[in-house]
Structure 1
Amino acid sequence: MRLTIENLKAGYGKVQVLWDVSVTVEPGEFVAVIGANGAGKTTTLRAVSGIVKPTGGRVTLGGTDLARLSPTQIVKHGLGHVPEGRELFGFMTVLENLELGASVRAEAKAKKSETLEHVLTLFPRLAERRAQLAGTLSGGEQQMLAVGRALMSRPQVLLVDEPSLGLSPLLTHTVFGALKEVNREGVGVLLVEQNVLQSLKLASRAYVLENGRVVKQGLAADLLKDPGVREAYLAL
C-alpha cells in the first residue's frame, strides 16, 4: 500500500511548522526522514496519522484521502503509528497494551492471537514480562512495547518516531532489527530518527527535513555519502 504525502502544511495554532512537505513510501519500502530537532519530523508523522490536522496539501494511503478521517479511522485503513514518547498505558499490563493495539481493525481482531505470537517472537523480553505493568518497564522495554502495540493492528504502513531516543546501543540494535524484519515481511516503514547513520543504513530512500521543508532526498546510500549530510549530521 502506497503512502503519499503531497505539499503538506501543518502546525500548531498560528505557528506553521511544515511548508509543502512531500514524501512517498512505496509498498514494502523503508524510508527515513532525518533532520535536527525542530525540523518538523514529528509534526509530519502526526499530520499523517491525524493527530495534527493538516492546513494544506494531501495525504493518501492506498489511494484513500486521509485528511478528513479521525486517527481511529486512519488506523482502520492500515496505518500504524509508534509515537515519540511511546504513550503507553502505564497502569495496564504488557499484554493488555498489546491487545489494545488489535482493537480497531477487523483483520487485527480476527488474527489477534497469531499477531500476538509474532510480536512476542520479535520481542522475547515482552513475552517474559507480559503480566508486568507497562509503567514499570525499562525505557527499552517500553519502546519494544510501543512498536509491538502498533504492529498488533497489522498495519500496511508503519510510522515510527524516534525509536532510539534514550536507548542503549544494544537496545537500539534490537528495536531497529525488529523494524527491519517487519519491513522484510512487507510492511512499509516511515522512520523519523535523529540517529542519522543508523537510519541511512536501514532505509532504501531518505529525505532531509530542515525548518519544515524537504531540502534533500534520494537513495539512502547516496545521502550517506553526501558531503553536506555528512558534515551536518554525521560530524564527518
Structure 2
Amino acid sequence: MTPHTQGQELVIENLAAGYGKVQVLWDVSVRVGPGEFVAMIGANGAGKTSTLRAVSGVLRPSGGRIGLGGQDITRATPSQIVGMGLAHVPEGRELFALMTVRENLELGAAMRPEARTAQAETLERVYTLFPRLRERAGQLAGTLSGGEQQMVAVGRALMAKPSVLVVDEPSLGLSPLMTQTVFGALKAVNAEGVSVLLVEQNVGLSLKLASRAYVLENGQVVNQGTSAALLADPSVREAYLAL
C-alpha cells in the first residue's frame, strides 16, 4: 500500500446466496466506485456479512454477478480475488493467536507478488497507521486486547496492497477511542485511493465516513442514497439512529 493507490470499481449485481438450502441474499445490487467509501447498514441478520463473504469468495453465490475492476470474480477463489486486489477484514478478526503480530501481518502479503516485493515498505506504513503494533510486533496475537487485534486484522489486509478493501464490523467490542483509531485508519487509506466497502453497526459513524450507503433488510437492499440523504431519512433515523 502506497499513497495514491488506484482504487478499483466493485460491482455486485442481483446477488443471491445462501447456506445449504437456506437462502440469505436476494437480488442484492451494490456499487463502489474507484476510490469511493461506501457503507452497508442494517440490523443483525440482514445479510451484510454474507454479502462481504460472497464478494471475497468465501461464500459461493447461487445467482447474480460480482465484478472487480471490470473482471468477473463471481466464481473466483478467495486467493485469486486477493491476487486481483481485493482484501477482506472479516468479522471476528480471525487472527492466528499463536503467531506474533508481525507474523500475522506478513501473512497478508503472501498472496500477491507485488505485495511481497513491497512488504517492508507496506509494513512500515501499517506501523505508521497503528503505532501500537510496532510496539507489539513480537507479541503473540492472542494476547492482545480486542482493539489491538482489530488493528492487526486491518493491517494484515492492507499488507496485500489492496485496491479494494471490504471491512466487516470493525468497531465490534471496541472502546470509543479504539473505534476512532481504526476508523481514522480506514479514512486515511481511502484518502490514498483505496476503494472501501464498510459493514458496521455504528450507523451514525459509518454514514459520517462514507459518501453513500445501502440499507439491507432480510437479505435485500431496501434503501440507498448519499449518506446525507440517509441521515435525514426519517425511517433510517428511527430504525438505526434512535432519533
- In structure 1, distance between residues paired with 2:178 and 2:204: 16
Asked if residue 233 in structure 1 is aligned to residue 240 in structure 2, the reply is yes
**Post-superposition shift, 1:133?**
0.2
1:73 match: secondary structure: helix
The aligned residue for residue 192 of structure 2 is 185
1:96-155 Cα deviation digits (max 9, x unpaired): 000000011111011001100000000000000000000000000000000000000000
**Post-superposition shift, 1:221?**
1.1
Write the letter of the residue equivalent to 1:91: L
- In structure 2, distance between residues paired with 1:170 and 1:184: 21
Write the letter of the residue equivalent to 2:171: S
- In structure 1, distance between residues paired with 2:205 and 2:74: 31
Asked if residue 42 in structure 1 is aligned to residue 15 in structure 2, the reply is no
Cα RMSD for the two superposed structures: 0.4
Asked if residue 194 in structure 1 is aligned to residue 201 in structure 2, the reply is yes
> Identical aligned pairs, as a percentage?
75
Aligned partner of 1:78 among 79, 85, 90: 85
1:46-93 Cα deviation digits (max 9, x unpaired): 000000000000001001111121100000000000000000000100
Write the letter of the residue equivalent to 2:44: N
The aligned residue for residue 36 of structure 2 is 29
Structure 1: where are the runs of 5+ without partners? none
The aligned residue for residue 53 of structure 1 is 60
The aligned residue for residue 168 of structure 1 is 175
Matches within 5 A, 1:76-225: 76-225=83-232
1:191 match: secondary structure: strand
The aligned residue for residue 3 of structure 2 is none
Q: TM-score with structure 1 length normalisation?
A: 0.99
- In structure 1, distance between residues paired with 2:127 and 2:228: 32
How many pairs were matched up?
A: 236
- In structure 2, distance between residues paired with 1:159 and 1:97: 18
Q: TM-score with structure 2 length normalisation?
A: 0.97
- In structure 1, distance between residues paired with 2:75 and 2:48: 21
- In structure 2, distance between residues paired with 1:234 and 1:2: 29
2:17 match: secondary structure: strand
1:189 match: secondary structure: strand
1:135 match: secondary structure: helix
The aligned residue for residue 16 of structure 1 is 23
